[in-house]
Structure 1
Amino acid sequence: MTTRVWDYLREYGQERDDILDAVETVFGSGTLVMGDSVRGFEGEFARYHGVPHCVGVDNGTNAIKLGLQALGIGAGDEVITVSNTAAPTVVAIDALGAKPVFVDVRADDFLMDTDQVAAAITPRTRALLPVHLYGQCVEMAPLEELARKHDLVVLEDCAQAHGARHHGRLAGTMGNAAAFSFYPTKVLGAYGDGGATITADDEVAAALRRLRYYGMEDRYYVVTTPGHNSRLDEVQAEILRRKLRRLDAYIAGRREVARRYVEGLGDTDLVLPRTAEGNEHVHYVYVVRHPKRDEILEALKAYDIELNISYPWPVHTMTGFAHLGYRTGDFPVTEALAGEIFSLPMYPALSPDLQDKIISAVRNVVETL
């Protein structure tokens, strides 16, 4: 049987009664769209982060897109972010007619190199979009300072960092707003698509609520710039309410899996994840690095272990973003990582016995290269 890089079935077996009760709660409520479950989850997720507003949407990409739009970002504006990210980060910027502007990442922790941001700012720059990658946060103090100096807004991409902390502050509480994905693989994952944007700004929150509902405040009447149909599903919201109560336990489970990887692979020549100073890592994915990555992946097929590469193609090299004008060679660290990184299986329900088999297989392959 193939060992998958992520698998929800063992967790579902443990939580099945609660998950099915969540579905029954919604189906028996009499309201299938924008009911008590969405409102309840929004309030609880906001309280978890200590902010007044959470607006649930249909996916993480729209959480970014609508977040930027509610912050006033539109056609022709420049948004500084990274190419070492999942494509949806950049898709969301591009969908507004805004221009993604990239900086490179740091070689030790793969996060945005904040030392490069100041040089990327132009008169058209309106926003900074740090990606809290793989489960830990970008160094935020320099970005906050640049935002104040140049009158920029900051939207945090927290799709991979639910519950992560940076110098004691939760991911999502350090910018003007923050976008989350609840795709099933996430630290807080639904049983389908889902997303949310949180903010402490009343006006931004009001704009988000209109934008996710066609531009309406009251039913049938569009009061502002036409928006979207981007509502969080009621069933997913109820499942997320239940799972939010277990979020800290999920994080503890991921940290234990990470600890066992360090114990089992720390003496090999794999480069294991580094936690940046001041960060509390939640290990959304466990990304390692090796110059013979492709040979390792090929050899591990014999062990029937499925691994992943996050991410094999830097966004600036994709043909779909050729219009941005970047070339191979523009971001050397990002491009080097794309040829060397891969992800080991990481999820809280990964059993020690199964993880031991993974560690043994990886050790055998790496030590014989």
Structure 2
Amino acid sequence: MAMRPQSMMGQHMMQPPSHHMGSMPGSNVSASGLPVQFIPLCRYEDSQAIRAVAFHPSGRHFVIGTNSKQMLLCKYPDIRKINLSQRSIPFNPEILLTRPKQHRGSVYCCGFNPTGELLATGSNDKTIRLMAFHADECKIGAEMELTMHDGTVRELIFMEDSINRSKAMVSGGAGNCHICLTDCTTGQTFKDFTGHTAPILGLYTWGGCSFASCSADKSIRFWDLRAANAVNVILPNAKTSNSPVTSVCVDPHGKLLISGHEDASVMLYDINGGRVVQIFRPHGDEVRTVRFSNAAYYLLSGSYDKRVVITDMRGDLTLPLMYLPVAEHNDKIIQCRWHPHDFTFLSTSADRTAVLWSLPLSHANS
């Protein structure tokens, strides 16, 4: 695969832009160079909807959080030992650890810290469970129940303070809509970020002290751990999406923000230039999740239209973008997450399943 252009704007695509491409017979890429239909490699089905999923940074495990209040830790299969070209029926994941009463309510979010030593889950029971995780034995160590939120905890992320060698967690959701910064060692919340006026639906960090939040109040806010208030705010106006923001992600260089919206739109925002690059609609219903692939070549998005779409991010982002539906559930899609190394992803759905998807022939680089 070609090396990523240094700038994501101003580079022309190698293929003519179009909005929907057919596949090439006998190939696992479309005529545009985009991957085509992924296959469901493994599939977990629960008694209720599944909202939350996250990969361990090593890629060897993934965690599932369900509406039935449970958390499962699963082993990521070695896709190099599986004949992907002949798989038609997904197998059950190897479950290494089950916690049937992880919360008193639905698990809305989950995540590992960058070193993989911590795992946290958030719930509509208004609590966060912060746990030490021992990856080699796949065991939970010491844990704390945190009660700083007064509403559903919708999202959480971990921040690493390399200077002070400390670990912090950022979390947000409904209730008073504050974003809480919590010391992972003591479990004490030592800072509140205020400004959102409706539930926080997404949080994202791209390293250092910076993170972004998005909300049902239709705004996106940029934060710095060292600052008391938001360092930048994207408010709804004629040039931006005038719709609740459900998910955000930022490319690894901190230059481009992508946001998903309730009105089925996806917005590309140039952070340094402070401008909207474009808004497009790859879905037919509310977009619930957006995530860059590892090298930011592709954008993964999931929607209430039951589809997962991949958009090509390798060319001139001011031109019409090429995108392709690559996977589908039987009900609304809630979350999608890329594997940290392989070109595979997990999706969760109201159809009560979490599915690991792979190309029929594995691609190592994304």
What TM-score range do you get, normalising by the shorter chain?
under 0.3
Structure number with higher helix proportion: 1
Structure number with higher strand proportion: 2
CA radius of gyration, larger in: 1
After TM superposition, the score normalised by the length of structure 1 is: 0.27
